[in-house]
Amino acid sequence: MTMTETKSRLVEEIQQWKEKRNAIILAHNYEIPEVQDIADVLGDSLMLARAAAETTADVIVFCGVHFMAETAAILNPEKTVLLPDLEAGCSLADSITADQLRQWKAEHPGAVVVAYVNTTAEVKALSDYCCTSSNAVDIVNSIPADQEILFLPDMFLGSFVQKETGRDNMQIWMGECHVHAGIQPGHVDEVMAQHPDADLLVHPECGCSTSSMYQLSEGMLPKEKTHILSTGNMLKHSKNADASEFVIATEVGIIHQMQKQNPDKRFIAANEQAICPFMKMITLEKVLDALKENQHVITVDKETADQAKLAIERMIAIG
């Protein structure tokens, strides 16, 4: 059997099992192309959390990383949430533990905790609000201006939110995603020099986001062609913008979708090495096994889930 025949057979089998189990496949924009192509919903973290909250399916196959499946499980304790590979973790979520957060809160009594969705369920349970890159600014703006905020765990997203909201009473945890942190100002400068007419789309978790914000404020990058966006908003921008070339500063998996939606436009990675090993762990074979073998079921204990749910529901409601 050729590779193409094997792939079509796998896709067909996945469809059959999906129907049999009344399942939905949710996939993040960083997944491998074949997995993106079989998703019922493909999106950024906020869109996927909303899809998980709204689905009527019995089974949710989460093609993403562990914290995403956990969020879906918290929102749907009565449904089966499957993560096709248990090793699909997240270096950013690992950058703060529940104990570290307890300690930080003790040092700032009365502060409101805003946690990026890239956190464990235990960390969410200790937080007041969750946010994603697409609504972090709106969430922080919804909190009274005189209220101290502890923002975690991503320092680059934190600096972006601080700049956008103008808040000086926001403490930021010094965590980072190793993939986004690896997209450095030098990468962007080099690629932009080769494509001076391109729109520049930067994810706020990137190591280059602080320098892009500085260059924007100093007029070194044009305002109308430089945008700091979540992956979902990057896709919207690339569809709607007039530009024919785009430099993309985020995990490279998203370029598959951009190219698919805009065959006549050109998308160039700011750093071709920005590949998330966790997102790439999910394959068609593992999706099929997940449906057939009911693996790996993600659950969160009731007490943690009940506490975390409040923060997640606030995230879903805003922005």
Question: Which residues are annotated as part of the binding site for [4Fe-4S] cluster?
Answer: 90, 177, 276
* DSSP states of 149-193: EEEESBHHHHHHHHHHHT-SSEEE--B--HHHHTS-HHHHHHHHH
**From ligand SF4, ligand 13P, none, interface partner of 161 (C-beta below 5 to 8 A by class):** none
- Token reading at 246: 């785009």
The reply to whether 44 sits near ligand 13P by the rule CB under 6 A is: yes
Crossing angle of helices 302-317 and 45-54, in 10° steps, is 110
Residues 165 and 143 sit within 8 Å (Cβ to Cβ):
no
Residues 248 and 206 sit within 8 Å (Cβ to Cβ):
no
Site string for ligand 13P, 196-215 (x = CB under 6 A): -------x-x----------
- Token reading at 40: 């019922």
The reply to whether 278 sits near ligand SF4 by the rule CB under 6 A is: yes
**From ligand 13P, ligand SF4, none, interface partner of 132 (C-beta below 5 to 8 A by class):** ligand 13P
Q: Of 88-96, 142-150, 212-220, 300-308, which part binds ligand SF4 (CB under 6 A)?
A: 88-96
Distance CA 318, CA 303 (A): 24
The reply to whether 238 sits near ligand SF4 by the rule CB under 6 A is: no
Residues in the interface with ligand SF4 (CB under 6 A) total 13
Nearest approach in angstroms of CB 274 to ligand SF4 is: 8
**From ligand SF4, ligand 13P, none, interface partner of 74 (C-beta below 5 to 8 A by class):** none
The reply to whether 118 sits near ligand 13P by the rule CB under 6 A is: yes
Determine how many CB atoms are found less than 10 A away from the CB of residue 318.
16
Contact set for ligand SF4, span 177-216 (CB under 6 A): 177, 179-180
For the chain, counts of helices (H) and of strands (E)? 15, 12
The secondary structure of residue 220, as a DSSP letter, is S
The reply to whether 271 sits near ligand 13P by the rule CB under 6 A is: no
Crossing angle of helices 45-54 and 66-75, in 10° steps, is 30
Find, among 109, 60, 64, 55, the residue nearest to 87 by Cα.
64
Tell me which of 36, 71, 127, 133 binds ligand 13P, using CB under 6 A: 133
Nearest approach in angstroms of CB 184 to ligand 13P is: 17
Distance CA 84, CA 67 (A): 13
Contact set for ligand 13P, span 248-267 (CB under 6 A): none
Q: Of 70-78, 129-137, 161-169, 216-224, which part binds ligand 13P (CB under 6 A)?
A: 129-137
Distance CA 296, CA 238 (A): 35
Site string for ligand 13P, 151-190 (x = CB under 6 A): --------------------------x-------------
Residues in the interface with ligand 13P (CB under 6 A) total 13
Strand-strand pairing, 59-63 and 23-28: parallel
Phi, psi dihedral angles at 81 (to 5 degrees): -110, 125
Q: Of 44-52, 237-245, 263-271, 302-310, which part binds ligand 13P (CB under 6 A)?
A: 44-52
Binding interface with ligand 13P (CB under 6 A): 29, 44-46, 118, 132-134, 177, 203, 205, 230-231
